[in-house]
Every structure is written in C-alpha cells, then in structure tokens.
Amino acid sequence: MALTYFESYPEVSSTFTFEIDDVLFSAQSDFQKIEIVQSKAFGRILFIDEMVMLTERDEFVYHEMIAHVPLFTHPNPRKVLIIGGGDGGTARECLKHPSVEKIDLVDIDEMVTQACLRFMPQLASSVFSERMNCHFEDGVQFVKETKERYDVVIIDSTDPIAVGEGLFTRDFYQDCFNLLTDDGILVNQSESPAWLPSLVEGISAKLRSIFPAVHYFQAHIPTYPSGHWVFGFASKGPHPLKDFDSQRIKAANLSLNYYNEAVHSGAFQIPTFFSRLTGNG
C-alpha cells in the first residue's frame, strides 16, 4: 500500500507530498518528533516535527553551501562552531578543509544524531572524526558560557519555532559575535525570501544591528519551502567576494556537486525583491 507523507506550508496555504516506501525511525525525543522514512524519489528523508530537515537527494546543496562559502572566504579557518546540525551533514563538509583543527558541534537533541548514525551514516559518521567535539546541550546556553573563540560559526538550525526559536534572537546573535575571532564569520540558515519575507527581513535587521557587514547568499533547495533558500553571511572582517580567492577552491579539488568557484560569487547576486528585504543592493 502506498504511504504518503506531507509537509504543510501554512505561509502559502499549500502542502507538498512525498510517496513513502517505509518508515525507518519514528520517535518523540525530549524536544521534538523525529522521523526517518524511505521515500520513492528522494532517498531517505529526515523529518523533525513534520518538517523536512533533509533528503538524501538534495542535502548536498544545503550542506555544501552553508559550509564552503564561509570556509573558502575566511583566510585560515581553524576553529569552527556548528550550532544545530546534529545530522552531521554540515560537519562532514567542514571536515573537508584541512585547515580546520577543531569543530564544536552543539545540538540540543542527541536522538537526531543517533537516528542519523543508524540510517544516514554518510552524514552522521562525521561525528567520529578526531577533530569533532559533540555537545548535546542547548546552543543558546553554550554560546553564553563558552570561553572558546571561533573563526567560523555556522547556525544550522531548524525553523524559528519550538526548539529552534532561541537561535533566531538578537541576544543569541550577539553572543555568537562575541565568541568570533577578529576576522570571524557567522553564517546562518535564513529561510525563504519568497514565502517568508518578513522572517528574512527580521533576521537581517538583527544581524545588521550587531555585525559591521552582512551579506546574503542563496541556493536552490527543492525540498525546502519555495526552493529558494538563503543564508546570512555576517562578518567581522572578510568580504565574501573581495577576500575570496577562487584559486583556493581549485587547489582544494574537493568532490562536490553544487558549490564551485562560480557558484560562490553567483550565489551573492540576489534578486531585487530579496535585496529590498535585507537592505542589500
């Protein structure tokens, strides 16, 4: 019998359905509902609270873009902090940079990592790297209390509801700013300008009130609402285009499917309706 999962997009009174062959994992953690299913067309899919977090088919877009854009901009990224990202996909990409000596990954919910280790090891096995330190605790508290300093902070959060809400506040961004080194960069997943324009506008305003320079870049992620997904790039120093050396990407010779030196620059060339929301352009 055919099984259908769907994600509701209440912001546009729509739903997107997936045909499912099997439910591999389904549990309520202390924080959220976690499911991993085998779909017909998207490989395995991780749902949290009935929203798509990633599919095997297109997770490469999100993870390559959130990791390589800051890591190829920063001149010498050695210490990286990932807030959220318990599935391990962002860490997997960060670990491709030999300059990175240490990654702290802070996810509130260990069950996400455990489920992904079992059903999506090609993402989650990154946590076994010697360079990885996993902290299963609240990211909001972690950034308030840590004495560590980071070259790059990546906020790989869920949406700004329930457990993810604290990762979209001005206070949280200020704490992240404080633990960045002098030429540090923060990148955060910033939702969709097409369907959630006021949310994008709000995130941008908060970042701009703290960081001297805030840019935006975008990617095509078909299984996120609208497919038009964007990232804030808030920097204490490096400019994402002027301080970016495309030769470094060529020399690194990584095996990637979305990100390349042309995409790095192209992703920052954003449409007019979106630049109006962010004060760019």
Least Å from the CB of residue 268 to its own copies: 7
User: How far is residue 27's CA from residue 191's CA, in Å, rounded to a whole number?
Assistant: 26
Helices within 146-271 (DSSP H only): 170-178, 197-208, 246-252, 261-266
Which one of 151, 156, 159, 175 is the catalytic residue? 156
Look-up: residue for tokens 């099984």?
A: 3
Look-up: residue for tokens 């995130």?
A: 203
Nearest alpha carbon to residue 84 among 50, 108, 111: 108
Judged by CB under 8 A, does residue 257 bind its own copies? yes
Nearer to its own copies, 6 or 128 (CB): 6
The DSSP string of 56-125 is: TTTHHHHHHHHHHHHHTTSSS--EEEEEE-TTSHHHHHHTT-TT--EEEEE-S-HHHHHHHHHH-HHHHG
Least Å from the CB of residue 1 to its own copies: 14
Q: Among 1, 30, 41, 130, which residue sits at the site for its own copies (rule: CB under 8 A)?
A: 41
Name residues contacting its own copies, limited to 216-245 (CB under 8 A).
218, 220, 222, 226-228
Q: Among 11, 138, 165, 183, which residue sits at the site for its own copies (rule: CB under 8 A)?
A: 11
User: How far is residue 81's CA from residue 154's CA, in Å, rounded to a whole number?
Assistant: 6
Name residues contacting its own copies, limited to 58-87 (CB under 8 A).
58, 61
Clarify whether 156 is annotated catalytic.
yes
Nearer to its own copies, 18 or 173 (CB): 18
Which residues are catalytic, by number? 156
- What does the binding site for its own copies look like in residue numbers (CB under 8 A)? 11-19, 39-42, 58, 61, 192, 194-195, 218, 220, 222, 226-228, 256-260, 262-263, 265-273, 275, 281
